[in-house]
Amino acid sequence: MSDDSTALVQIRDLHFSRGSKHIFRGLDVDIPRGKVTTILGPSGTGKTTLLKLIGGQLKSDQGTIHVDGLEVGKLNRRDLYALRKRMGMLFQSGALLTDLSVFDNIAFPLREHTDLPENLISHLVLMRLHAVGLRGARDLAPAELSGGMARRAALARALVFDPMMIMYDEPFTGQDPISMGILLALIKTVNAALGLTSLMVSHDLNEALSISDYAVIISEGVVVEAGSPEQLRASESAWVQQFLQGKPDGPVPFQAAAPDYETELLGASGGLH
């Protein structure tokens, strides 16, 4: 874990449930400033839910989440919206507005939340589009973009307010190798060039870890292990090694919990007579 002076996000004793299902059971996580951090874990462990809790879209049942010293759960609506302007979000789908051009998609947050003159908005949008290599696609509709281009346009929109942090929800899903390589380079370069903090959720382990400074593995509502990619790969935990290497056999069972197989089969066959 990072110490308090270097953590942009501090999560303590986080509990969150959906109905009877406990997603988090006392989660403690620190997200270091100025680094690329990846949240890893099996499907259904609440990785995307964690991003929503950090952004204040969901409220925890117990515990605290501090972002840059502000306790998210205690902010009023105005202060929460102000904080969100400092946190860019790259959604898994890209979430571009289909009726607007690429240029207008990037300009939309500025037009909606500022009183900037149109010529200044134009300059800011073109700068962000140039940064992601899409200045030449400014007049295209989202439907005319490839999957990789749409994800880059969404990244340009996430950068338009000069945020302190960007959260990425499965940024590499559905990307071909070239598009994935471009996104990997962009995330790392943008983070370093703009002094951002990047928080990423991903199932693409090798790709995500290749650009991460820090990684956190969560399962069953708590942190299993955290550290640099090198520290995780050197872990002596059989669970961590099974997860990182994708092994079918190990502490994580292949079969869901069920009655004894032979007993159930015999019982079922007995019922046929």
Q: What is the pLDDT of residue 52?
A: 93
Q: Are 111 and 182 contacting, i.e. CB atoms less than 8 angstroms apart?
A: no
pLDDT, tens digit, 9 for 90 and up, residues 14-68: 999 988 889 999 999 999 999 999 999 888 889 999 999 999 999 999 999 999 9
End-to-end Cα spacing for the chain: 61
- How far is residue 105 from each of residues 86, 90, 141, measured CA to CA in Å? 18, 13, 9
Strand bridging mode 222-227 / 165-169? unpaired
pLDDT for position 249: 64
Among 207, 186, 206, smallest CA distance to 198 is for 186
CA atoms of 38 and 20, how far apart (whole Å)? 28
- Cα separation of 79 and 71, whole Å? 11
pLDDT band at 255 (very low <50, low <70, confident <90, very high): low
Residue 139, burial from CB neighbour count under 10 angstroms (0-12, 13-18, 19+): exposed
pLDDT of residue 65: 96
Name the band, by pLDDT with cuts 50, 70 and 90, for residue 171. Answer: confident
Name the residue type at position 231. Q
8 A C-beta contact, residue 79 and residue 70: yes
Helix, strand or coil for residue 251?
coil
Each residue of 84-95: pLDDT tens digit?
Answer: 989 988 887 668
Query: How long is the chain?
Result: 273
Say what the pLDDT of residue 3 is.
Answer: 46
Q: Are 55 and 85 in contact (CB under 8 A)?
A: no
- Give the pLDDT of residue 250: 64
Residue 92, both tokens? 């898994």
Domain 4-250 has CATH 3.40.50.150: no
Q: Where are the domains of the chain?
A: 4-250
1 pLDDT above the threshold of 50: no
pTM value is: 0.81
Q: What is the mean pLDDT of the chain?
A: 87
Torsion of Cα atoms, 166 then 167 then 171 then 173, to 10°: -170
